[in-house]
Structure 1
Amino acid sequence: MKNYNFTATERFLRYVQIDTQSDPHSEASPTTEKQKNLGKVLVEELQAMGIADAHLDDFGYVYATIPATTDKKVPVICFCSHMDTSPDCSGEGVKPIVHENYQGQDLVLPDDHSQIIRMADHVDLAAQIGNDIITASGTTLLGADNKAGVAEIMDAAHYLINNPQIKHGTIRILFTPDEEVGKGVNNVDMKKLGADFGYTIDGETLGAIENETFSADGVTIVIKGVSSHPGFAKGKMESAIKIAAEIVANLPTDTLSPETTEGKEGFIHPVEIKGIVEEATVSFIIRNHDEEKLKDHEDVLKAIADEVIKKYPFSTYEFKVQQQYRNFKKVLDQYPQIVEFALEAIKRSGVEPKLQSIRGGTDGSRLSYMGLPCPNIFAGEHAFHSKHEWVSVQDMNKAVETIVNLAQIWEEKS
């Protein structure tokens, strides 16, 4: 891709200004209609490239096909990224800023001077000296998770369409809504997608490929307390709110929490409490790379709830477990070439590849169990879900190269 005028940055700067925040409380699909606003833009741009079948469906998914340029029989490869941004931090009115030729200085964000991105807090910035760093302005997240991946796939599509001499098989593009709220592939039409293998472009550090994720469950504890007029409550009231608070307060403090674990250590994490005196609900996420350990964590939580509820003889609770996603390593290990080709594609871009696990999940976690083995490749996003989110222009360009290299490697090896 020598002398190629990359378009990923220009696309990214436009995409992040479109609010696509998803909503964990919505039962609609997509959970917010505004996600389709980006989908419409992407379809228009894909069609302008000459990709005639690009379209947005009623559920907010974008599908498109880059036709094969070879006579070989090559597996159909899908490149996937999600369009939504996290509900954890505002995504409305994003004002992206390009900090050119970064030299290690503190990046003070102009719309809130208390928001300062320091190398001491973001160690990956040490590898970015001389590069161009994109941040938000201090009042919103940036949206690099995962509009960096969207922009990179779009740029790679632009390159392949305009360089038909590059040999590759049929490539499918999939952009999804609602990944951040765990519903990213709920309504994917796998038959229409028609891909054999896939790659999500939704990772962090330059050169990283992830072939292992958490396994994940959600737990909901619904507490039924006893309500009474507070002026006449002695010996009668059993507040569901206080019971919920006591369960949370009894969680382990030095283990089994996000703030005290790393690597492949799992956790129990309360994400929401809501309710009134009579009834309260506490929602948890349970995570571990080892699927069997999820049950152990859930047993710990249930034992805490059992012990707390003993103090309230007229109150009860329900303990509901819902499977969310599973570690896709079990699937990927059956198709080692998927990861091997990605490692080679990263090397060809001039970057040292890093095979690693992720303390999270991707659309690929579920797609892998839906028949589309799908590891995760770096997009360059950092400090996601926060006002300190950043991405490097140069890392995005390397992701574009990696996608193009992958397309070629699958053709070469077929």
Structure 2
Amino acid sequence: MFDQNYNYTCLERFLKYVKIDTQSNEDSTTFPSDPKQLELSKLLVEELKQIGMTEVEMDEYGYVMATLPSNTDKNVPTIGFIAHVDTSPAVTGTNVKPVIHKNYQGGDIVLPNDKTKIIKVDENPELKDMIGMDIITTDGTTLLGADDKAGVAEIMDAMHYLITHPEIQHGKIRICFTPDEEVGRGTEKFNVQKFGAKYAYTIDGSTRGEVEIETFSADAVVIKFNGKNVHPGYAKNKMINAIKIASYFIDLLPKDTLSPETTEKREGYVHPTSVNGNETQTVIKFIIRDFDANKLKEYENYLKELCEKAVSKYPGSTYDFEVIEQYRNMKYVLDNHPHVEQFAIEALNRLGINPIKSAIRGGTDGARLSYMGIPTPNLFAGGHNFHGFLEYVAVQDMQAAVQMIVTLAQIWEEKS
């Protein structure tokens, strides 16, 4: 039974963490992509030591790892809890001013420093379940950083709870706070052997009760259209403008299907994310997503067909086509370890939280870690509207995540 008199620390920690700018940089070639992430990582090292964690260290890449030693005689598999410190490049994370809307009583939430930024009830159905809760938003000028500083704060609080409640038996627990998840590099330098967990959970989901064991499978595609540049004053019947080839190609893409804006649920898509170039060469970058990994090849072949049509329209032009594998649906791994999900669902049931089994229309560090040898589902952290000005999280949902982590540690010990 969770101690009803426990003084949670997750809110205090979260408000501190979000004020530290940790925005990652998708154009950087360094690791971490922006060294300012290390400011929070260094703080976490000190806080982990303060609460009594052991083997606390930050490596050269900014990964923070620590251990909560086992306090049971049972042979319990080492489990891990993981969250990321960086925030999305999509919206600024500088000078975040969190606002707490205490005892929310319904209705739209207008953000105080930009009245045009409104969290609308009809666009956020989760708000109907938050009556009476304390909701944290931004002031409207930045993102909040609940993705994933809520997860970081919740893991910290759960470890604090277990340390201050030694009567709760648990096996060895490893925690890790990673950089650069938002730019798809969160596991790039992750040391699986040093982490040493057999199973893990990322605390990086959204709605209370979410248990996610399925992600998109994902590839990136880079298409380079090659034209021929000639001085425009003397270009008649000579110039082949790569920008126009790329434009023609983009216009061939389907208008009513196969795009993020026209798909939902289990539908996949092909999505152009950037166009750069000139008359000589224009580069289009795509991300390709589907829950069925076999469909990625179909989508890539489809794009090649459109490339062929485009260059045939402009004789003398050529194209280069590169596929970069990104990640695969973690369900293919987790299906072989069903107890990892089952224990999470049992933890939620014990707490009276309705488990929500959902598939992520995206990826997580857990997807890559699962294929690196650590089966890793994703569990809720409570945040909503990630990567934007309208991001929010309820304090009570963060506390529920703390309870979930603690209960999950208990269940692993009980079942061993």
TM-score scaled to structure 1, two decimals? Answer: 0.98
Of 242, 260, 266, the match for 2:262: 260
Q: 1:16 matched to which residue of 2?
A: 18
**What displacement does 1:114 show?**
1.0
Q: 1:50 matched to which residue of 2?
A: 52
Of 112, 135, 138, the match for 1:136: 138
**What displacement does 1:242 show?**
2.4
* 2: CA distance, partners of 1:315 / 1:94: 48
1:283 aligns with 2:273: no
1:124 aligns with 2:136: no
* 2: CA distance, partners of 1:364 / 1:142: 23
SS in 2 for 1:218: strand
Moved over 6 A (4+): none
Q: 1:269 matched to which residue of 2?
A: 271
Q: 2:335 matched to which residue of 1?
A: 333
Alignment of 1:173-184 (within 5 A): 173-184=175-186
SS in 2 for 1:151: helix
1:194 aligns with 2:229: no
Q: Deviations over 1:143-170 (max 9, x none)?
A: 1111111111011011111111110000
Partner AA of 1:156 in structure 2: A
Partner AA of 2:148 in structure 1: N
1:319 aligns with 2:318: no
**What displacement does 1:52 show?**
3.4
Q: 2:297 matched to which residue of 1?
A: 295
Q: 1:212 matched to which residue of 2?
A: 214
Q: Deviations over 1:318-374 (max 9, x none)?
A: 110011000011111111110000001111222111112111110000000000000
**What displacement does 1:107 show?**
1.2
* 2: CA distance, partners of 1:133 / 1:338: 31
* 2: CA distance, partners of 1:123 / 1:281: 40
TM-score scaled to structure 2, two decimals? Answer: 0.98
Q: 1:413 matched to which residue of 2?
A: 415
SS in 1 for 2:122: coil
Q: 1:245 matched to which residue of 2?
A: 247
Q: Deviations over 1:238-265 (max 9, x none)?
A: 2222222222222111110001111110
* 2: CA distance, partners of 1:122 / 1:268: 27
Deviates more, 1:284-293 or 1:8-17: 8-17
Instruction: Provide structure 2 residue ranges, at least 5 long, that are not aligned to the other structure.
Output: none
**What displacement does 1:399 show?**
0.5
Residues paired across the two proteins, number = 414
- Contact preservation (8 Å) 1:348, 1:402: no
Of 310, 313, 322, the match for 2:312: 310
Q: Deviations over 1:63-91 (max 9, x none)?
A: 00011111111000000011111111111
Deviates more, 1:167-176 or 1:353-362: 353-362
Deviates more, 1:358-367 or 1:234-243: 234-243
Q: 2:149 matched to which residue of 1?
A: 147
Q: 1:69 matched to which residue of 2?
A: 71
Instruction: Provide structure 1 residue ranges, at least 5 long, that are not aligned to the other structure.
Output: none
**What displacement does 1:111 show?**
1.9
Q: 1:162 matched to which residue of 2?
A: 164
Q: 2:229 matched to which residue of 1?
A: 227
Identity %: 56
1:82 aligns with 2:95: no
Q: 2:375 matched to which residue of 1?
A: 373
SS in 2 for 1:286: strand
